[in-house]
Amino acid sequence: MGVHNYFKSLSDLEKLLRCPGKFKYHEHSVASHSFKVTKIAQFLGTVEEKYGHEVDWRSLYEKALNHDYAELFTGDIKTPVKYASKELRELFSQVEEEMAKKFIEREFPEEYQAIYLERFKEGKDDTLEGKILSVADKIDLLYESFGEIQKGNPEPLFLEIYQEALQTILRFKEMDSVQYFLTSILPDMQHERFIEQSELNIITNQMIKDALKG
């Protein structure tokens, strides 16, 4: 009981895998996903600022850092559940929120409870920071699913996730940071190359030929 348990719980997030069993090449934990989302949100916020929008950085960082903390209590089951029904999805959000609330009331000293109740709330609201979080969360998901597809994971789930993530990002296409992502970052992902055996053989033969000539 106490903040000690909160600190310890951070370690549990390191061991909580996203889509358990699905990623075959590169697994992702909730802890490292949260880190990446916060870093991506940082970049998107920086772009927004460049384009003259005011960013409440404290709010942005808080939203990004904590956005998946409640998965501590239910695991990462949102992905398969998401494809089931809307009611189920809402039910799960409700369950997670309730369990987070109980956790805070049990572990935190009273004077910090209100602050943490606020921090553990769903952050994806209509503020600029909420929207940046929505986009950053999906950009990381896009990278995670792209990484699997590119390495040869034939699981159709990843194509669905890739499409769903891109769809969500595109819903925010009015944002300057999303424009930046679509025009200056995504094309580089699309140009990632694969190394084919035939290409490897050509390179190898050329190198040997050059060396023997030299």
* Tokens describing residue 91: 């039910």
User: What is the nearest approach in angstroms of a copy of itself to the Cβ of residue 107?
Assistant: 10
Q: Min. distance of Cβ 125 from a copy of itself in angstroms?
A: 19
Contacts of 17 (CB under 8 A, 6+ apart): 23, 27, 28, 29, 30, 76
CB of 3 to a copy of itself, least distance (A): 5
Instruction: Give the whole-angstrom CA distance, residue 155 versus residue 173.
Output: 28
Nearest Cα residue to 162 out of 134, 138, 180, 183: 138
- Distances from the Cα of 160 to the Cα of 21, 24, 83, 142, 146, angstroms: 16, 16, 10, 10, 11
Instruction: Give the residue with the Cβ less far from a copy of itself, 125 or 202.
Output: 202
Q: Please state the closest distance from residue 196 (CB atom) to a copy of itself, in A.
A: 9
Q: Which is nearer to a copy of itself, 122 or 155 (CB)?
A: 155
Closest CB 73 distance from a copy of itself, rounded Å:
6
Q: How far apart are CA 2 and CA 47, in angstroms?
A: 39
Which candidate, 5, 56, 66, places its Cα nearest to that of 31?
66
Distance of closest approach, residue 146 Cβ to a copy of itself, in angstroms: 8
Smaller CB distance to a copy of itself: residue 49 or 122? 49
Q: Which is nearer to a copy of itself, 122 or 160 (CB)?
A: 160
Residues belonging to the chain: 214
| Contact (CB, 8 A) for 75 and 15 | no
Measured from the CB atom, the residue of 93 and 149 that comes closer to a copy of itself is 149
Nearer to a copy of itself, 52 or 154 (CB): 154
